[in-house]
Amino acid sequence: MTGLAAQLAAGVEALGLAAVVSAEMQEKCLAYIALLQKWNKVYNLTAVRDPQEMLSLHILDSLSVLPHIQSGRLLDVGSGGGLPGLIIAITRPDVQVTTIDTVQKKTIFMRQVKAELGLSNVEVVHGRVEAYQPPSPFDQVISRAFSDIALFRRLTMHLIIDHGRWLAMKGVVPADELQLASVIPTEIIRLQVPSLQAERHLIVFENS
């Protein structure tokens, strides 16, 4: 087992996901890192260059939300290189994941990942989220460093079912954002990301 594979396996164990994230899924996560590294040289998809940093900042950070994802249809807004959407798709085949981004090179990369890793539960959309008109709304809408909560909610209101859930991945608890958005979260979940010292939280609120 390579150093990176061992680090991923240890991270999955630390997150309590060993029964969920199989060895095959972990291999696909490592294949994703390899593709990200390769494409990053030409397309500058992420400022993170070191594969070990990619593992903790991107993969384990994305995996940390898995216990809070329900089955059904999920939209990942401002997905960039496919985080957390593609990692959720790899590890949760029961979730139909749509990723959307305005930057064409990022959507081309995500489509390449979908093809190379055989992710049949992924759809990649190039466009602005506020203009996106899918055939039916989503059960869950997630974002990671997309915008403040008020804007995230406003731009995606037309994309979520009644009583659907928004999931905003944040660092420290964004009390000011919640106040400005007049949002009362149903849950504020502290995420413990292995080998990441920074605070991470998942803010969950419902379309009631």
Q: For residues 193 and 167, what is the distance between their CA atoms, to the nearest angstrom?
A: 17
Domains in the chain, number: 1
Amino acid, res. 194: P
pLDDT at residue 1, rounded to an integer: 60
**Nearest CA to 81 among 54, 53, 106, 49?**
106
Compare 41 and 12 and report the one with higher pLDDT: 12
Residue range of the domain that includes 82: 3-206
Q: What is the pLDDT of residues 115-153, one digit of tens each?
A: 999 999 999 999 999 999 999 999 999 999 889 999 999
pLDDT at residue 145, rounded to an integer: 80
Residue 26 has pLDDT above 70, yes or no: yes
Region 77-86: mean pLDDT is 96
Residue 208 has pLDDT above 90, yes or no: no
pLDDT at residue 31, rounded to an integer: 97
Region 22-32: mean pLDDT is 98
Q: What is the pLDDT of residues 146-195, one digit of tens each?
A: 899 999 999 999 999 999 999 999 999 999 999 999 999 999 999 999 98
**At 114, which CATH number?**
3.40.50.150
Residue 41 has pLDDT above 90, yes or no: no
Q: From the annotation, which residues make up the binding site?
A: 78, 83, 129-130, 144
Q: For residues 48 and 161, what is the distance between their CA atoms, to the nearest angstrom?
A: 35
CB-based contacts of 63, cutoff 8 Å, min separation 6: 11, 12, 15, 17, 21, 29, 87, 91
Q: From the annotation, which residues make up the binding site for S-adenosyl-L-methionine?
A: 78, 83, 129-130, 144
Given pLDDT bands bounded at 50, 70 and 90, which one contains residue 68? Answer: very high
pTM: 0.96
pLDDT at residue 8, rounded to an integer: 97
- Supply the mean pLDDT for the chain: 95
The fraction of the chain above a pLDDT of 90, given in percent, is: 88
pLDDT at residue 187, rounded to an integer: 97
